[in-house]
Structure 1
C-alpha cells in the first residue's frame, strides 16, 4: 500500500510522546508499505536527521516552521472562529507541499497525525484518510485550565471551547479516527456519538527498553519534556507536597528529573541537594536502572504516558495518579500503584522503597503487561486492520 504520512513534528530523535509514536509507527509500517513522509521542521538540526527516516520511508519532505509567521497567523486569523492551534500551524508552504504530493502520487491512503495537520488534507474528499488524533486536546486544555490560573487562563478557556468543536467537526472528514485511550475517545463521542473512532494505544520498544541490573540506591525518577505544563506541574506538585512526606520516612532518598527543556523554576530546585535535574540526556535507560521507583503524579494532561510504558518495560515499579493510569489496561497494585492524595501517594512510594520483593513483583508484572499488550508490532497491526477496513468501505 502507498501511504502519505503527515506529521506535525519531525520525529527524530524520538524524545517526546508524539515523536516516539510517529517514529515507531513509520518504522513498523515500512515492513509492509511504501511511505512518503511530510512534517514541519522546527529546528535546523532536524534537516541533518532526514537520513534516519530515509531508512524506512520512500521519500521524506520537510517544511520549515516559522514561529514569527505562526504568531502572525494567530493575530490575522483571530476572527475566523477556529482554534489558535489551527492558525498557529497554518502554512501555505505546507499546503503546497501536500498538494504537490497528492497530484503526483496515487496514494492508497493518507495517515494524518494530530488534528492540527488535518487542515491540509480535508479538501481531498475522494481519498481514504485516517486521523491519528492521539489524545483529546480539549480534555488536555480543560484540565490545565483548572490548575493554571495565570494570565493565560482566559485564553485557555476560550481555546478549550474552540478545540472541542473543531476536534469533533474535523473528525467527520476522515474514514477513521484513532485515539490512544478510551477516555480520549469518549470525549469526542460525547459531542457526536456517530464519529468513526477506535482506540490504538501508545506502544514501547521492548527491545530497546529492557530490565537491566538494578542499583541498591533508593532513587526516584520522573522523565519527559519538562517544560510541558502537565509534566512541570507534576514535578512541582510532587516536590512540594509529596516528596517531603517520603523524606520523613526515607531521609536518604533522591529525586531525579530527567528530560529536555527544564524551565528555570525546575532547574533551581537542584540547589536544595535532594533533587537532580539533568536536562536532555542521550540515553535515559541508565537512569531507569539507577532508580527504585518511577513517580508520575499527573494532575493534568490527556492521552497515554510513554514514560510509564518505558518504566514498565525497564522493570521499574510505577506510582501514578488516576489520571496517569486511565489509559492503561492494568491491574492496580499488581501492575502499577495509584494514589491521588499526597499522603497516600507518599505511602505507596515508601512501601515500595522499603520492600524489595514488592518492587520486584510489580516490576515483573508490569514487564509482562507491556510485552503482552504494548509492543509496537501489535500496535501497528491495529493500524493495518484500520487501513484495510477504510479501503474496503470505500470500494
Structure 2
C-alpha cells in the first residue's frame, strides 16, 4: 500500500471516451494529479469490455480502478426515464440512483480513505449519509440554473412546465445535498458565488478551467468561410444552440457570405437536425463521434458557440482558442471565463449580431489572426491543465486536513 494519503474519486459515469466537457475536465484533473500527493482510487460504473478497451486511459488517471456494474442503456432509455418525472428528485438524479454502487462506495471508504471526491451533484446519491472521511463535491455547473434556462427558451407550454418543475426539484436537491460535503468545488467564481449564497454550505472554492496546451497545439486560422462547432450532440443545450444557429442565424449569414459552410463535430447528432440540414440542402457536415477533434477543427476560419442554455464553463471555448480558432459566442457560451469581448473573442447574443460578427471575422484576415493569437496567449497564461490539477490537489489536501 502506498504511503501517500488515500483519495477515492467517485464518478457516477464511466469517464471514457472523453467525448464531453465534464469528462474532459475530470480526466485532465486526475491525469495531472496522478503520481502526486495522493494515491488515487477511481470508482465508476463500467462493463468488463469498457475496462479492457480503455485500460491505458484508466491507468493514466488513477492508481487503482474499481468498477460497479454498469446499467444497460437500451434504445428506449430516454422514454423509460420519463417515469422519474413523478419522483421528488430531478429526473437526471432519480434515474441514476443505484443501491449497489452506493454500497460499493461505502465499503471502499470504510477501508481507510482519507478524503473522497464526488464528481457532479448527481453523485451525492452515492455518498454515505454519515461521513466516513472528509468529502469534496466537484460541481461542473449550477444544475438548477441550466433547467431554469431550458424553461426560458422552451417554445412549447408543456415543455416549459416540465423544465420549471425540474428546476424547482434540482434547486431543492442542490440546497439539501451540498451542505453534506466539507468542500464544494465550482468551475468558476460565478458558480462559487451562487453556491456560497446557499445556506449551510461549509466551504466553497473555485478552480479555473484548464486545457491541454500540448495536445491542442496552435495553428493559424484558415482563410475560407468554414465555421466549426464541437460538442456532444445528444446534450440538450447543444441541440438547442445548433437549432437556434441553423434556424435563426444561418440565413442571415449566407446573405453576406454565400460560400459559408458549417461542420458540427460531436457524438450522436440529433436526427432532426441532420434531416433538416439535408432537406434544406445546407452545406453542413455532422461528423458524429470522432476519436480526435483536431483534424476536423484545424483549418477552420471561425468557431461559433451559439448557446442559449448551459451552466459552469465551456471547455470547448478554451480548446478552440488553444487551437487558434477565433471565437464568436453568445455571452452565455463563454460565461464564467475571464474573457473580454473584442480582445480574445467576439460576443453576439442575437441572430443579427451573430451573423454580423461572423461576417466581419470572415471578411478580415487581420482580425482573425489578432483574435487567434490573443486567445492562445490567454490560455497559455491562465489555463494550463496541469496548473488546474495542482489547484484541485491543494483543495483536496486542505479538505483532508480540515483547513478552511
Normalising by the smaller structure, the TM-score range is over 0.9
Partner of 1:243: 250
Partner of 2:173: 166
After superposing the two structures, state which structure 1 stretch, 370-379 or 310-319, moved more. Answer: 370-379
Partner of 1:280: 289
RMSD: 2.4
Partner of 2:123: 117
- Cα gap change, 1:349/1:70 in structure 2, threshold over 3 Å: closer, same or farther? closer
- Cα gap change, 1:227/1:86 in structure 2, threshold over 3 Å: closer, same or farther? closer
The answer as to whether partners of 1:270 and 1:277 remain within 8 angstroms in 2 is no
The yes-or-no answer on 1:17 pairing with 2:24 is no
Over residues 5-52 of structure 1, what are the superposed CA-to-partner deviations in whole Å (9 max), with x where a residue is unaligned? 001221122110111012111111113021101112389545521342
The answer as to whether partners of 2:266 and 2:287 remain within 8 angstroms in 1 is yes
Deviation of residue 122 (structure 1)? 3.7
Partner of 1:210, secondary structure, is coil
**CA–CA separation in structure 2 for the residues paired with 1:46 and 1:364:** 40
The yes-or-no answer on 1:135 pairing with 2:144 is no
- Cα gap change, 1:117/1:178 in structure 2, threshold over 3 Å: closer, same or farther? same
Partner of 2:402, secondary structure, is helix
The answer as to whether partners of 2:178 and 2:201 remain within 8 angstroms in 1 is no
Indicate which of 32, 35, 38 corresponds to 2:40: 35
Aligned residue runs from structure 1 range 248-287, under 5 A: 248-271=255-278, 272-287=281-296
Indicate which of 199, 210, 224 corresponds to 1:203: 210
Partner of 1:342: 351
The yes-or-no answer on 1:188 pairing with 2:192 is no
After superposing the two structures, state which structure 1 stretch, 27-36 or 69-78, moved more. Answer: 69-78
The answer as to whether partners of 2:220 and 2:372 remain within 8 angstroms in 1 is no
The yes-or-no answer on 1:103 pairing with 2:107 is no
- Cα gap change, 1:365/1:23 in structure 2, threshold over 3 Å: closer, same or farther? same
Deviation of residue 391 (structure 1)? 2.6
After superposing the two structures, state which structure 1 stretch, 306-315 or 275-284, moved more. Answer: 275-284
Q: After TM superposition, what 4+ stretches of structure 1 lie above 6 angstroms from structure 2?
A: 68-74
Partner of 2:356, secondary structure, is helix
The answer as to whether partners of 1:85 and 1:116 remain within 8 angstroms in 2 is yes
Partner of 1:231: 238
Q: TM-score, normalised by structure 2?
A: 0.90
The answer as to whether partners of 1:317 and 1:366 remain within 8 angstroms in 2 is yes
- Cα gap change, 1:94/1:308 in structure 2, threshold over 3 Å: closer, same or farther? same
Q: TM-score, normalised by structure 1?
A: 0.92
The answer as to whether partners of 1:70 and 1:87 remain within 8 angstroms in 2 is no
State the number of aligned residues: 393
- Cα gap change, 1:168/1:43 in structure 2, threshold over 3 Å: closer, same or farther? farther
The answer as to whether partners of 1:266 and 1:277 remain within 8 angstroms in 2 is no
- Cα gap change, 1:44/1:291 in structure 2, threshold over 3 Å: closer, same or farther? same
The answer as to whether partners of 2:34 and 2:60 remain within 8 angstroms in 1 is no
The answer as to whether partners of 1:71 and 1:88 remain within 8 angstroms in 2 is no
| Structure 1 gap segments, 5+ residues each | none
Indicate which of 100, 104, 108 corresponds to 1:93: 100
Partner of 2:298: 289
